Amino acid sequence: MIDPERVASIIRDVAQSEIVPRFRTLAHDDIREKKPGDLVTVADIAAEHALSSLLTQEAPGSVALGEEAVHADPATLSLLAGAAPVWVIDPVDGTGNFAKGVPAFAVIVAYVVHGATMAGWIYDPLGDRMIFAMRGRGAWLGAARLRVAAATPPERMTGSAYGRTPGGLRAAQALTASGRFASIANRGCSGLEYFDVVTGSAHFTLHSRSLVWDHAAGMLLVAEAGGAASFLDGTPYDPRIADRKPLAAASKAAWQLVQGIVSAP
């Protein structure tokens, strides 16, 4: 069995040595586009390399699947269908923010075994805040067990939403136009958006694609904190599926309200 505190320590140490010192100090050559609008920095590369090495040592026989490694060789996604446990790594979630000097980025790590997310960590390096969950053992911030927000009237709910409705309207616009919610604010960092739901400061987060490094940890964390987390079509979340919309919310009622609005034609 992996030790969640040891893994958290590894993530924290790598972030503080490879990511934080580079924030707002990147040179022009330290940033490049993988494709238009999709950035990668030297911090992403260095942190992913370090985490891949250290985490696979932590669990002999495991393998690492990092976002940047998949960009270099998409065939590595097949590791999720293999027998070996997989460390899924997003070394800098919110790279666009990081590269622009915006203080909204995170490190996300998930531990996937036979297609099921067994553990997940999200780390806010600037705030030095770490949340983690083990399947069936709850979600935690240090010694404090986390719970999603208590039942909240829709007009007081906040959240984030990406993608488009069947009618072509941006999901965030559709939710805002419904007049049912207090506010919709997209942070450009799925890790922090899940962080907000798990710690009770937001009520839902909807995303347009289910890339495993962005969502495996967060979906587990929300579920373990007592929330509702599944694909927008109602099917259970599966980290091996990359092309469905994941929706996580503080309650089933909140999940159903968001789902109904963004699924309308």
pLDDT digits (tens, 9 = 90+) for 187-208: 999 999 999 999 999 999 999 9
**102-124: average pLDDT:** 98
CB 134 within 8 A of CB 119: yes
Domain containing 175 equals 154-262
- Whether residues 247 and 203 fall in one domain: yes
- Whether residues 61 and 132 fall in one domain: yes
CB 192 within 8 A of CB 104: yes
Per-residue model confidence as pLDDT tens digits over 136-162? 999 999 999 999 999 999 999 999 999
**30-40: average pLDDT:** 89
Give the pLDDT of residue 36. Answer: 86
CB 91 within 8 A of CB 48: yes
> pLDDT band for position 18 (50/70/90)?
very high
Question: CA neighbours within 13 Å on the CB side: how many for 132?
Answer: 22
pLDDT at 37 over 90: no
- Whether residues 131 and 167 fall in one domain: no
Looking up tokens 């891949």, which residue turns up? 52
**246-260: average pLDDT:** 98
**153-181: average pLDDT:** 97
pLDDT at 87 over 90: yes
What is the distance between the alpha carbons of residues 86 and 200, in angstroms, rounded to a whole number?
29
Q: Structure tokens of 242?
A: 């990359």
- Whether residues 90 and 163 fall in one domain: no
At which of 122, 145, 168 does a domain end?
145
CATH at 126: 3.30.540.10
What is the distance between the alpha carbons of residues 99 and 120, in angstroms, rounded to a whole number?
25
- Whether residues 13 and 141 fall in one domain: yes
pLDDT at 127 over 90: yes
- Whether residues 158 and 248 fall in one domain: yes
- Whether residues 165 and 141 fall in one domain: no
Give the pLDDT of residue 201. Answer: 96
**Percent of the chain at pLDDT exceeding 70:** 100
Non-local CB neighbours of 181 within 8 Å, separated by 6+ positions: 154, 155, 157, 158, 159, 175
> pLDDT band for position 35 (50/70/90)?
confident
- Whether residues 183 and 81 fall in one domain: no
- Whether residues 194 and 108 fall in one domain: no
- Whether residues 103 and 85 fall in one domain: yes
Sign of torsion over alpha carbons 264, 150, 106, 188? positive
Bridge partner list, 158: 183
pLDDT at 1 over 90: no
What is the distance between the alpha carbons of residues 106 and 87, in angstroms, rounded to a whole number?
16
Per-residue model confidence as pLDDT tens digits over 203-249? 999 999 999 999 999 999 999 999 999 999 999 999 999 999 999 99
At which of 145, 172, 196 does a domain end?
145
- Whether residues 184 and 115 fall in one domain: no
Structural domains of the chain, count: 2
CATH at 200: 3.40.190.80
At which of 121, 145, 169 does a domain end?
145
- Whether residues 18 and 140 fall in one domain: yes
